[in-house]
Amino acid sequence: MKVIACYSMKGGVGKTATSVNIAYWAARTGNRTLLIDLDPQGASSFYFKVSSVRKNWSKRFFDAYEHLVGQIKATEFMNLDIIPAQINFRKFDVMLSQLARRKTRLKKVLSGLDKEYDFIVLDCPPSIGHLAEAIFEASHAIFVPVIPSTLSERTFEQLHDFFTQNGYASKRIVPFFSMVQRQKNMHRNTMERLRRQYKRFLKVSIPFSTDVEKMGEFRGPLDTFAKSRPANKAYYALWKEMVPIIRRARYD
């Protein structure tokens, strides 16, 4: 089983769209896939038409994998399950601050699902607290969408610096460009410069598209309502580029 995270310190860069479409393509290509919606906003859960659990079970999230199993919901897609978010997930940083071995708690509970799934996809909130560090420890690869703009570039560099300063393996960070508008000189120039500076940027980039915005309207991955559109083709290509990286990834 491989755990992959869609993460960024910055909001609004396409983490949830990536999580939903990548989880969909993972399942569609025959992999038993679990999407865990860690963002209290619950957008991934909404897209897959799975309601958040009303009962507050978040206090038991990091205790044992048995608590996670009881919250797994099937989606309408074969091979694809989801653990939906709830608003109390916003307290995860505080909860983890009170636990021993907080950095490895998520990794430990997810390991109990090893025989059930081939891939676990984490849709992550934009934070850099205790939950983020638990995600870094638990993930074989951390896919980071980067808009080719000043603020998104800055937060990506901050993330890279955080890894270096705190002893995390920066090779786990796998960035790709998101919401790209190639008609903009700034986007083209930024992409060229960052590719020179960081060799791990994926070749595939995700274009800015109103189809992605319509995922909320249609409540589903792009392939279910925009099959022939560029954004859907880009996410499928992104998934194909991710696969060998994920399969080679190992915990350090």
**How is residue 207 annotated by DSSP?**
B
**Buried residues in 147-163 as b, exposed as e (16+ CB within 10 A):** bbbeebbebbeebbebb
Q: Contact 197/191 with Cβ under 8 angstroms? A: no
Number of domains the chain is built from? 1
Amino acid at 148: P
Mean of the per-residue pLDDT values of the chain: 93
> Could you list the residue range(s) of the whole structural domain that residue 169 is in?
2-248
Q: How confident is the model at residue 87, as a pLDDT? A: 87
Higher pLDDT, 182 or 60: 182
Grade residue 60 by pLDDT with cuts at 50, 70 and 90.
Answer: confident
Integer Cα distance of 43 and 16 in angstroms: 7
β-partners of residue 162 are: none
Say if residue 56's pLDDT is above 80.
Answer: no
**How is residue 155 annotated by DSSP?**
H
Of the given ranges (101-105, 182-186, 204-208, 237-241), which has the lowest mean pLDDT?
101-105
Mean pLDDT (whole number) for 6-33: 96
Say if residue 53's pLDDT is above 70.
Answer: no
Q: How confident is the model at residue 79, as a pLDDT? A: 97
H/E element, 145:
strand 141-146
Say if residue 95's pLDDT is above 90.
Answer: no
Q: How confident is the model at residue 63, as a pLDDT? A: 79
Burial (0-12, 13-18, 19+ Cβ within 10 Å), 100: exposed
Integer Cα distance of 117 and 1 in angstroms: 6
Integer Cα distance of 25 and 186 in angstroms: 31
Q: How confident is the model at residue 54, as a pLDDT? A: 59
Q: How confident is the model at residue 57, as a pLDDT? A: 76
pLDDT in tens, 131-147: 999 999 999 999 999 99
Of 95, 161, 139, nearest to 242 by C-alpha is: 139
Give the neighbor-by-neighbor strand order of the sheet with 33-37.
Answer: 73-74, 80-83, 33-37, 119-123, 2-6, 141-146, 173-177
Say if residue 52's pLDDT is above 70.
Answer: no
pLDDT in tens, 189-230: 999 999 999 999 999 999 999 999 999 999 999 999 999 999
Percent residues over pLDDT 90 in the chain: 79
- CATH value at residue 218: 3.40.50.300
Percent residues over pLDDT 70 in the chain: 98
What is the pTM assigned to this prediction? Answer: 0.95
Integer Cα distance of 77 and 149 in angstroms: 35
